[in-house]
Chain A
Amino acid sequence: MRHVKTGLHTFMAFPAFLLFALFFLWPLAQGIGMSLTDWDGIRAPSFVGLQNFFSFFKDSRALGDIKTTLLFTLGSAPLLNLVGLGYALLMDGEFHGKGLARVIIYLPAIISPLIMGYIWYFLLQPDRGFVSQAMMQWGFSRGLGDWMNEYWLEMLVLILVNVWQYAGMTMVIYLAGLQGIPQELYESAKMDGAGYSSRFRYVTLPLLIPSIRINVVTNIIGSLSVFDIIMSLTDGGPGYATESLGIYIMRMCYGSKTGYSTAVAMIMFFIILVPVVISMRLTQERE
């Protein structure tokens, strides 16, 4: 990169960083300190060193939560990207009622998650949900079946609902990316006799790399810190079977284990960091 003289542009990231430092980094610095204490939120904390980190790996509930979180991400992050890209390719271009269709796709996100969660359960509750009742009326006597009794089925439902709710959001980024692809490239590819699939393979996909990277990274982070979908559908249950790390942290934080919950948050940070760095590297090479 050519050398550029210092000017106003040099400091353009400072306002954003200052705001962020005040409202996030500064509180965070105080928060991280708590991970080395036994603070319960009430009594004065005392220093326990790395004790919290050790007890995490001794807690079978916590290890189960890691498994659930990773499984969820393995299913949800790739699927979200595929479905989101599919949506975007469908919605790009001209068709009747395009404006309305776009508003409709965002509807699940407009309704307060406080309520949305319960609506998912109204829909999907094994024997009484709307879906089960509809299926029974159409002759499927078992309805949805008792999906909450089987771990794999439960994970599958959670992943699908997550995709259902958030694919519209992934689509937005892909739509914005598609829009940045110059029309002329398609024209010239067409002139060279390229069909739809090869145009997609050699024009669309390479130029979508920045959007892919954004979506892959945000979906990995979002899936690994999954919280609301699981809370509302299974409440992490039965028992702690489908509890995610994010829910565990919240429960520890409010359950008089404030210091410990901070330590778990640190652990979760490293769990997320690894796949994110890998996918950043991978997409950087392709660019």
Chain B
Amino acid sequence: MISKIGRQAAILFICALCLTPFYILLTLSLNKPTRILSEGNIFIPDFHFHNYIDGWVKSQIGTAILNSALITLFALAVIVVLGTMAAYTIARFDYKFNKAFFWIFLCSMMIPGIINTVPLYTLMIRINAINTLWGMALVCATNVLPSSVFIFTGFVRSLPREIEESAIIDGCSWFAAFWRITFPLLKPSIAAVAILNGFGIWNNYAQAVFFLQDRSKHNIPQALSVYFQQFAGAKWHLMAATAVIAVIPVICAFLLFQKSLLKGLTEGAVKG
């Protein structure tokens, strides 16, 4: 009983910690541009809801949310399909090139992507991928492919090999056994990879600045960047309001999908 209460308290505490930044964001988004932060109670905003209208109009955040969503979905689909397939064969079959692929992926995680900037830019120009959502999605997918393969490989290894072998005995090919047996069992790790990488792709800025140049193709961070003045601070009230607008669809989607998407995470879990 005591441990149950302790646990609830700990969870509440963690949630409070994680909510703090969001609370700051909300407060900033409701302040008037003339608000002096060192005067009055810093935790109570001005409730100036007009920021949200201004933010929506000035930043074209609607288009940006759509662009970020399309890029993220496409990139995640690529990662899930290609990543799990690669992880399966790497975990199960000892081919020399599988080993090589695994180490290449692992080592690539340790190389800072910035040194690729110029050659990648030239490549994107050559394949006409500048200002395209598919080009951006492929770049984002490539960024996280190594870590995804690494994670998937770990999880395939933790599944017993026998599950596929029984399907093989029934006349299935190894390829088909993967899709029928292993892939569905990987759902928890797919959910984990989607969560781990999805937000990063959703919020990609480092590459978006090069490859999404048209304003109509901008993603969320780019839409937010119009509130930064180089030498004069930022328009916090508008930026925060716009950022809140951009966070809402993610939270909604998450609440909507999390029951089914994360169900894998709790099925058969230790019941407290």
Residues of A within 8 A of B (CB): 1, 4, 7-13, 15-17, 19-20, 22-28, 30-32, 34, 41, 87, 90-96, 98-116, 118-120, 122-123, 128, 130, 133-134, 164, 168-169, 172-173, 175-183, 186, 207, 210-211, 213-214, 217-218, 221, 224-225, 246, 249-250, 253, 258, 261-262, 265, 268-269, 272-273, 276, 280
Contact = CB atoms under 8 A, between A and B. Distances in A.
A211 B174 contact: no
Nearest to A34: B115
Chief secondary structure at chain B's binding surface: helix
A15 B79 CA distance: 11
A102 B262 contact: yes
8 contacts: A12-B88, A13-B97, A16-B85, A98-B266, A103-B251, A112-B205, A225-B112, A265-B115
Interface of B: 7-8, 10-11, 14-15, 17-22, 24-25, 28, 37-38, 42-43, 78, 82-83, 85-86, 88-90, 92-95, 97-98, 101, 104-112, 114-120, 123, 138-139, 141-142, 145-147, 149-151, 154-155, 157-159, 173-175, 178, 188-189, 191-192, 195-196, 199-200, 202-203, 205, 220-221, 224-225, 234, 239-240, 243, 246-247, 250-251, 254-255, 258-259, 262, 264-272
Contact of B107 (A23, A115, A175, A273): A273
B86 A23 contact: no
A42 B224 CA distance: 30
A109, A168, A207 interface centre (most CB from chain B within 10 Å): A109
A210 B157 CA distance: 8
Contacts of A258: 118
B199 A109 contact: yes
Contact of A95 (B173, B202, B254, B272): B272
A24 B142 contact: yes
Given A93-B272, A179-B188, A179-B267, A107 B115 contact: no
A268 B112 contact: yes
Nearest to A99: B258
B64 to A, nearest CB: 10
